[in-house]
Structure 1
């Protein structure tokens, strides 16, 4: 953390932050000098709310204006308000009949209420948008941001690759909806540092989605049509398999289920109860008090399994939930990561989390810890197509070397078909454990972010440009090309990596010196 930021944090009475969170706050402060609408990426459990709280405190300390926090769900509104109040802030709420304290300098608002009432905010110094990946597909959000196009906006998201987040608009003078992506940490980095828990994945039986049609989601991704999900997933043999595998692999641990439909969720709960396991169903048609009561009882451990469809994919925070059953097939990377993130928070006695994937989503999308497409999509066909993880490239036939399209096993030239190699380990003849595939190449935005951090380290230490290039090559195994000369505050992850490089280099030198001493 830089000295100026340290002084600002201490002087403003800012809440304590982890090192990478401090780096995010510092980077956002720098980025806001030349862009108006940055997006912060932090994985679920990485502390987006704490970062936003620190930014709010800094804003109030240096400005006479107000901070407006926007969310798209009632539950998120009240959770965010509670976090800000815990930090000692006076917070108002603008959400339906729960509206109160609108005279305060910090307001947490439901975008639906803001839009329905045509609210006009005065003296706004900053907008903060929670779950900001939904902004691009929301006319309500866009209308508000167009109206206040000169006010700084900070987006928060664990999945910032929705289609159109980087799309230019004339209302912004031709500039993008979000102009810069600030990468705070990676999932794997947070797991390595102990801020998130590790994950074991098992892939038992799955529904047959052959012939299922796809539709575009609100985030601009393609996903299975709901009617096809309902038909494929809610079958007696599949539900029975869900119960059987849970009893064998995770029996007794607190579990959240993502089902394909409300009927499917209720069916799963019935089957759990039939085996003597305490379970409850939750859906959006329940009133607020009923939903709150179920969540509170689950948090206290009064029952073991909580099943829903998609209600808990955002804003659900019960750290000791150690298992997730994914019974809803999806092709959407955003939905997949939001759901998996619910079980990655650490808790006492929680050594790892467990994912039982009865949907085939892991095979379709990849491991949740793999590199992500961390680049704001401008909505163009080429960019939109890149928002899914990289697809396999065409490969030559091992027999005749004919280059066949990706995904085709049998060579169309010589008919050679290689023996199938499975990355699923079969256990006890029926349970299948997913082994993570090799990491994919880093995304361009990730490479630029690392290069920018190395530039700042070099400037701080007085290192040469050659040092930057060699460290970049050590990380990515290629020399830097077409990189922008834009320094960025180094994250704790990068500094730890540099330290490990230095330690490794020192050990090599020690061995070399020992070798010379014996000559």
Structure 2
């Protein structure tokens, strides 16, 4: 299993592996769960000179229903491989049980906590999200949290996502006027994808945008294939500004110049959250993505196993460091060292570390009250001051306390090196409420 964040270039890696394999005369069997992604990978194969005559590229459903007609491949490649435990996937894998396979995913995670050790022998991980942002492979982002619905309406069973019935009740409580105000405030004119919990909700939301004079179109699984293709193409070319959908354009959907996502679909699935939140983070020079979370998905507690299981780690944010595994999941994926106390600006609803003296997005002054600082991580954690004699306190996030006077530090870089040498945990450094950078 090969793991790399959404938008990090898995399709290009797949195409290169397929090119090398077919150049040696091998046959490739590639499958994914949606037909839109089939066309996308075919285009990627063509662009990378893969011999398509030696490839079978289709949806998992079609392949599972025609196994006896398919010649034995020398390599199986599975995209969005976190779905591999599903019945049709396992039917194909069991049929070609002695064929080597590569599974690609951004999120090797299932709500049940069940792992993948019986399907994949080894996991290979790519860079973390923050590393990709730092290296200009993913776009930086502004995270907006303005919760608009009544969460008491939401219900779920055991280790499953919220029920369709409860989400239908929830969407009726959304203040769409505030949704539009937030859009105009942060995403005016930006190419935007909106995620909703149902077709009825998607049509309702699209209608709200249209009534506000915004060129929006609703698309869902029941939209005729030809019409759906036309809508997707118009969105890619910019003829459609806002695309409202139901879990249709999340996994694998590639629109590099999408600049904003709006989440109106609450979820208990970390996979769905990351796939949707990061859909606007494809890198383009000068681009800053905007993630508008109207349903508080970043605060959702990660479920491990049954509903009785207790975990303190919320989903957090796209940039957060995550620990993935093929084993059955016993812990939350998000590392506690990466957690911060956060504040939400009352003016623009931007989310940022609570130690800031003002909102980094709109400049609103932030009062130093306990009400304003919200602990995103519930585990035991403290903060440490490293102080020198020049009254320049540097705040690090760590899980133990120590106070030192590094008088020998003559520059910020030397201070960083000092902190690293002392063994301080990775975290953000601050000076007078301003973020100086990530200390690794």
Specify the alignment match of 1:287 in structure 2: 224
**Partners of 1:61 and 1:74 in 2: how far apart?**
26
SS of 2:152 mapped into structure 1: coil
d(CA) in 2 for partners of 1:51, 1:476: 36
Contact 1:65–1:123 (8 Å) recurs in 2: no
User: Which residue matches 2:104?
Assistant: 156
CA contact (8 A) 1:262 1:309 kept: yes
Q: How far, CA to CA, are the matches of 1:474 and 1:293 in structure 2? A: 57
Contact 2:193/2:243 (<8 A) preserved: yes
Q: CA, structure 1 residues 260+195, in 2 after alignment: closer, same or farther (shift >3 Å)?
A: same
The separation in 1 between residues aligned to 2:351 and 2:259, in whole angstroms, is 17
Decide whether the 8 Å contact of 2:82 with 2:109 is kept in 1: yes
Q: 2:166 aligns with which of 215, 220, 228?
A: 228
Q: Structure 2 matches for 1:59-70, cutoff 5 A?
A: 59-62=21-24, 64-70=25-31
2:20 & 2:422 partners in 1: Cα distance? 34
Query: Retained in 2: the 8 A contact 1:135–1:165?
Result: no
- The structural deviation recorded for 1:212 is 2.9
Larger fraction in helix: 1
Is 1:277 aligned to residue 239 of structure 2?
Answer: no
CA distance in 2 between counterparts of 1:213 and 1:287 reads 32
* Aligned Cα root-mean-square deviation (Å): 2.8
Pick aligned residue for 2:38 from 74, 77, 88:
77
| Contact 1:320/1:348, CA 8 A, preserved across alignment | no
Matched-pair contact (CA < 8 Å) for 2:187–2:260: yes
Match of 1:363 among 296, 299, 307: 299
Inter-CA distance 215–73: structure 2 relative to 1 (3 Å threshold): farther
Is residue 111 from structure 1 mapped to residue 28 from structure 2 by the alignment?
Answer: no
Which residue of structure 1 aligns with residue 404 of structure 2?
none
Judge conservation of contact 2:143–2:292 (CA < 8 Å) in 1: yes
Superposed displacement of residue 348, structure 1: 4.5
Asked if structure 2 preserves the Cα contact closer than 8 Å seen for 1:333 and 1:388, the reply is no
1:476 Cα offset (Å): 7.6
Bigger-Rg structure (1/2): 1
Question: Does the residue aligned with 2:249 lie in a helix, a strand or coil?
Answer: coil
1:311-358 Cα shifts (integer Å, max 9, x gaps): 0112321111111111111121110011012100022542x1001110
1:122-151 residue CA offsets vs partner (Å, 9 max, x unmatched): 342110001111011x11111211122211
Q: Report what 1:50 is aligned to.
A: 12
2:331 to 351, 375, 386: 386
Q: Is 1:426 the counterpart of 2:362 in the alignment? A: no
Alpha-carbon contact 1:128-1:154 (below 8 Å) kept: yes
Q: Which residue of 1 aligns with 2:352?
A: 435
Q: 2 CA distance for matches of 1:295 and 1:211?
A: 33
Offset at residue 388 of structure 1 (A): 5.2
Superposition map of 1:85-484 within 5 A: 85-91=46-52, 104-136=53-85, 138-162=86-110, 163=112, 166-167=115-116, 176-210=118-152, 212-215=154-157, 222-235=160-173, 238-350=175-287, 352-364=288-300, 365-378=315-328, 383=329, 385-387=330-332, 389=334, 423-428=342-347, 431-435=348-352
Q: Give the SS at the match of 1:127.
A: strand
Over residues 408-464 of structure 1, what are the superposed CA-to-partner deviations in whole Å (9 max), with x where a residue is unaligned? xxxxxxxxxxxxx97233243xx32112588999xxxxxxxxxxxxxxxxxxxxxxx
Secondary structure in 1 matching 2:227: helix
- Paired residue secondary structure (1:107): strand
Structure 1 residues 165 and 127, CA gap change in structure 2 (3 angstroms) = farther
Q: Which SS does the other structure have where 1:151 is aligned?
A: coil
Shift of 1:238: 1.7
Q: Which consecutive residues of structure 2, in runs of 5 or more, have no partner in the other structure?
A: 301-314, 354-374, 380-419, 426-437
1:164 Cα deviation after fit: 6.7
Q: Helix, strand or coil: the match of 1:306?
A: strand
Count matched residues.
350
SS class of match (2:203): helix
d(CA) in 2 for partners of 1:425, 1:71: 38
Q: Deviations over 1:343-396 (max 9, x none)?
A: 00022542x100111011012221111122311143xxxx3x53554689xxxx
Secondary structure at the aligned position of 2:178 is classed as helix
- With over 3 angstroms needed to count, the CA separation of the structure-2 counterparts of 1:215 and 1:438, relative to structure 1, is closer
Distance 1:181 1:122, change over 3 A: same
Displacement of 1:120 in angstroms is 4.5
* SS of corresponding position for 1:435: strand
Q: Which runs of 5+ in 1 are unaligned?
A: 1-38, 92-103, 169-175, 393-420, 442-472, 479-499, 505-519
Give distance in 1, aligned partners of 2:187 and 2:9. Answer: 27
DSSP-derived class of the 1:337 partner: helix
In the superposition, the TM-score normalised over structure 2's length comes to 0.73
Contact 1:161/1:387, CA 8 A, preserved across alignment:
no
CA positional deviation for 1:209: 1.9
Task: Report how far residue 477 of structure 1 moved.
Answer: 5.5
